[in-house]
């Protein structure tokens, strides 16, 4: 598939940066999550496979399986989506290399390192199996080694939920070098299939070889079913017997003889870790009796023929290449017999030479010596200290010593481990004395406890394991307000103290602050003082906000931002709202009366004009001419008439409708009979127009 996704955004969130791997079903990219500002790995289903509904279903089943898992040794899944015809999974980005790459670089792994990796893989499988999930493709390619030495199991590409397991037709999934016999047969699989595959991974770590090799996938699958691999200790004698027994039990082709669960495997791994010399007395040559008949029935003839054709292609001449004539057989047999005789004669000669040399040194040499030679019996020096011999020169005047040092001994420096000649032998005393070769312990440099304070406890644990002292490490947790969670707070023994093999070491690491949770009290309908008292009693902080609320009594709590009984850390700020009662309303203006012509009380009427809707006073029906104080031409309450417009009564409250004050006694009231009215003194108060209305 082309890199058409590089630089593209998925769901306006994930920016694809580079391709980092390709699998059987999908391509894996490194991407930046712009929402959370972190790098992630995105697995995109190959476009040619996305057209197959069954493959798409399997692809999404993978995400369904992994999303159910949460374990430090399993790669996490963050998101699953389908965008613009692209099916993809967003996963944790792992910075590290695969176990396969590590084996290829290093070759045979130290058995302690293999034990460390195996234990973490088994813990991941134990977690997955407990949730009904089988990986079905455990192999070093799917195991990531992090920079801190821990591992994570990845790529549940053919993982299948037990509750929805279906039989696959004409397909055996998984890498053929690591599949279990039941997978090779096409039979149903369970958790024990993953254990078999883990056993093959252990075999490869300990020997740097695969248990079965072949010219084709089918021939390798047949070997898983019907063959027994070479024992790991025959390839690498440094493997402890107990670890070899665990490996071969996990790889047993007989399901009933295999470990029945990852938990059972972990128990044996832990027993071996505590005592590497332990032997489980398992039969490392698995019994095939239970599976022979079923094997004969399960391997199709078509597959056997494919193996035969592959063999013929390798040989180049087909089956006739292996045919031998009677004459050739007799010649080969004669040649083989002569070779065997020569090799046997050579070996016997070497043994005779060694035997003669030994007898000469032990007995013959002494018998042939002249009788006048002085002979002494060699003293025992083993178990003494070398400095004791040097201090007692007179007692050992007949001896001279050749000292060799053993740097691998755990005995103290100067301790005599062995001597040659051995104690009790009778030897001839020469003028220069008897030469005795002593093997002396060089001692060991003291291994000091490193300073692991403020280190990640997992890194500290790895550092101690790398000392190869088989320390008994105990992890302890402790809350801390100052030290980051996961980092070491205390250690025992202290830094600089001497460590001895099998010594107990305690690592105390932080779990973060000790947070105490309390329940939020019910503040609704409480007064402000009561709400503050309740929060103070619960060791919580309060923040009061006022708001209008027509459903809650004034001065009472109408709302709180945490529901009652919610558990929050001590000191959390809880907001509560105090009601101010109903919100105030705006005054309602008097109703508008079109056509009435009445001037609103207190209102100005610039220029003496009438209110909108009023008719011109000079054109009132009937020819009546109203007074300036009577807009609209209506008669004032209490008496005035058109004939005496100035004598009308004033409005209640002492004002005329225009808003002007009532004239003082003795003053003239302007009338509308045609007299001039000075500008600014009209009864419409504030008017600029000094002319009276048209009569």
CATH of domain 517-579: 3.30.10.20
CA 261 and chain centroid, separation: 23
The verdict on domain 9-92 having CATH code 3.40.50.150 is: no
Q: Return the pLDDT at 577.
A: 93
Q: Return the pLDDT at 316.
A: 43
Give the integer Cα–Cα distance in Å for 292 and 14.
Answer: 53
Q: Return the pLDDT at 217.
A: 84
Q: Which of the four CATH numbers 3.30.10.20, 3.40.50.2300, 3.90.1150.10, 3.20.20.140 does domain 375-441 have?
A: 3.30.10.20
- Stated length of the chain: 695
Using the predicted structure, report yes or no on whether residue 469 has a pLDDT greater than 80: yes
Most distant CA pair in the chain: distance in Å? Answer: 186
Spot the catalytic one: 87, 137, 194, 268: 137
Using the predicted structure, report yes or no on whether residue 554 has a pLDDT greater than 60: yes
Strand pairing category for 434-441 and 517-519: unpaired
Which alpha helices (H) appear in 325-482, and where do they start and end? 326-359, 365-368, 386-391, 457-465
End-to-end CA distance of the chain: 100
pLDDT confidence tier of residue 83, bands split at 50, 70 and 90: confident
Segment 520-531 mean pLDDT: 94
Using the predicted structure, report yes or no on whether residue 352 has a pLDDT greater than 90: no
CATH topology of 375-441 equal to that of 517-579?
Answer: yes
Using the predicted structure, report yes or no on whether residue 165 has a pLDDT greater than 60: no
pTM of the predicted structure, to 2 decimals: 0.44
Per-domain residue ranges of the chain:
9-92, 97-303, 331-368, 375-441, 447-510, 517-579
Segment 374-378 mean pLDDT: 84
CA 633 and chain centroid, separation: 92
Q: To the nearest 10°, the Cα dihedral for 598, 600, 604, 608?
A: 0
Give the integer Cα–Cα distance in Å for 186 and 171.
Answer: 7
Q: Return the pLDDT at 608.
A: 45
Catalytic, 2? Answer: no
Q: Return the pLDDT at 595.
A: 57
Q: Return the pLDDT at 592.
A: 63
Q: Which of the four CATH numbers 3.90.1150.10, 3.40.50.1000, 3.40.50.300, 3.30.10.20 does domain 447-510 have?
A: 3.30.10.20
109 in the Ramachandran plot: left (φ > 0), alpha (ψ -120 to 50) or beta? beta
Cβ proximity of 581 and 558 under 8 Å: no
Q: Return the pLDDT at 183.
A: 87
Classify 97-303 by CATH class.
Answer: mainly alpha
Cβ proximity of 452 and 488 under 8 Å: yes
What phi and psi values does residue 255 have, to the nearest 5 degrees? -55, -40
- Percent of the chain topping pLDDT 90: 32
Q: Return the pLDDT at 366.
A: 57
Segment 386-399 mean pLDDT: 77
Identify any residues that bridge with 419 across adjacent strands, giving them in sequence order. 438
**649-667 pLDDT, tens digit each:** 444 444 444 444 444 444 4
- Locate tokens 């299948």: which residue? 160
Using the predicted structure, report yes or no on whether residue 309 has a pLDDT greater than 60: no
| Burial of 325 from C-beta contacts in 10 A (0-12 / 13-18 / 19+) | exposed
**581-638 pLDDT, tens digit each:** 998 887 766 766 665 555 454 444 444 444 444 444 444 444 444 444 444 444 444 4
């Amino acid at each position: 598939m082309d890199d058409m996704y590089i630089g593209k955004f998925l769901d306006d969130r994930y920016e694809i940066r580079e391709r980092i791997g390709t699998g059987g079903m999908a391509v894996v990219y490194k991407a930046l999550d712009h929402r959370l500002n972190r790098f992630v790995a995105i697995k995109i289903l190959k476009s040619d496979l996305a057209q197959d509904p069954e493959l798409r279903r399997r692809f999404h089943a993978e995400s369904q399986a992994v999303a159910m898992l949460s374990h430090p040794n399993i790669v996490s899944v963050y998101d699953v989506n389908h965008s613009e015809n692209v099916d993809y999974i967003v996963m944790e980005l792992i910075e590290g290399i695969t176990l396969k790459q590590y084996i290829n670089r290093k070759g045979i792994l130290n058995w302690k390192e293999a034990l460390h990796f195996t234990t973490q893989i088994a813990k991941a499988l134990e977690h997955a199996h407990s949730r009904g999930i089988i990986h079905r493709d455990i192999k070093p390619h799917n195991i990531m080694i992090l920079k801190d030495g821990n591992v994570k199991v990845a790529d549940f590409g053919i993982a299948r939920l037990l509750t929805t397991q279906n039989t696959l037709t004409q397909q055996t999934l998984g890498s053929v070098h690591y599949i279990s016999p039941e997978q090779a047969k096409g039979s149903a699989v369970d958790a024990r299939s993953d254990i078999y595959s883990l056993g093959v991974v252990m075999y490869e770590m300990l020997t740097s070889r695969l248990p079965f090799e072949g010219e084709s996938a089918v021939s390798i699958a047949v070997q898983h079913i019907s063959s027994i691999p070479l024992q790991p200790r025959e390839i690498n004698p440094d493997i402890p017997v107990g670890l070899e027994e665990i490996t071969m039990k996990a790889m047993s082709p007989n399901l009933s003889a295999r470990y029945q669960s990852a938990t059972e495997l972990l128990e044996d791994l832990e027993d071996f870790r505590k005592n590497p010399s332990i032997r489980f007395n398992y039969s490392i040559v698995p019994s095939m009796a239970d599976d022979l008949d079923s094997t004969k029935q399960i391997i199709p003839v078509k597959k056997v023929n494919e193996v035969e054709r592959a063999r013929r292609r390798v040989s180049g001449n087909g089956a006739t290449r292996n045919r031998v004539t009677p004459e050739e057989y007799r010649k080969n047999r004669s040649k083989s017999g002569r070779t065997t005789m020569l090799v046997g004669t050579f070996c016997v000669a070497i043994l005779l030479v060694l035997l003669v040399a030994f007898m000469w040194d032990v007995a013959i040499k002494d018998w042939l010596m002249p009788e006048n030679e002085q002979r002494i019996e060699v003293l025992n020096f083993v178990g003494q200290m070398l400095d004791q011999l040097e201090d007692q020169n007179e007692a050992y005047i007949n001896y001279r010593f050749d000292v060799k040092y053993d740097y691998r001994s755990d005995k103290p420096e100067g301790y005599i481990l062995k001597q040659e000649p051995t104690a009790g032998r009778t030897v001839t005393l020469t003028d220069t004395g008897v030469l005795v070769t002593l093997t002396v312990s060089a001692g060991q440099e003291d291994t000091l406890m490193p300073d692991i304070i403020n280190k990640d406890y997992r890194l500290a644990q790895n550092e101690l394991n790398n000392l190869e002292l088989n320390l008994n490490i105990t992890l302890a947790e402790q809350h801390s307000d100052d030290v980051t969670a996961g980092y070491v707070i205390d250690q025992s023994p202290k830094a600089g103290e001497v460590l001895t093999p099998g010594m107990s070491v305690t690592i105390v690491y932080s779990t973060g602050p000790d947070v105490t949770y309390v329940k939020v009290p019910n503040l609704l309908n409480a007064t402000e003082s009561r709400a503050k008292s309740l929060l103070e009693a619960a060791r919580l902080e309060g923040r009061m906000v006022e708001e209008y609320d027509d459903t809650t009594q004034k001065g009472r709590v109408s709302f709180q931002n945490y529901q009652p009984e919610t558990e929050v850390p001590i000191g959390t700020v809880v907001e509560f709202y105090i009601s101010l009662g109903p919100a105030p309303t705006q005054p309602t203006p008097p109703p508008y009366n079109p056509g009435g012509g009445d001037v609103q009380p207190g209102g100005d009427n610039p220029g003496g004009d009438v209110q909108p809707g009023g008719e011109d006073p000079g054109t009132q029906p009937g020819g009546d001419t109203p007074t300036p104080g009577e807009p609209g031409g209506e008669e004032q309450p209490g008496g005035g008439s058109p004939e005496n417009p100035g004598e009308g009564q004033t409005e209640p409250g002492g004002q005329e409708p225009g808003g002007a004050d009532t004239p003082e006694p003795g003053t003239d009231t302007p009338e509308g009979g045609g007299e001039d009215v000075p500008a600014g003194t009209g009864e419409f108060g504030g008017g600029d127009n000094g002319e009276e209305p048209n009569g």
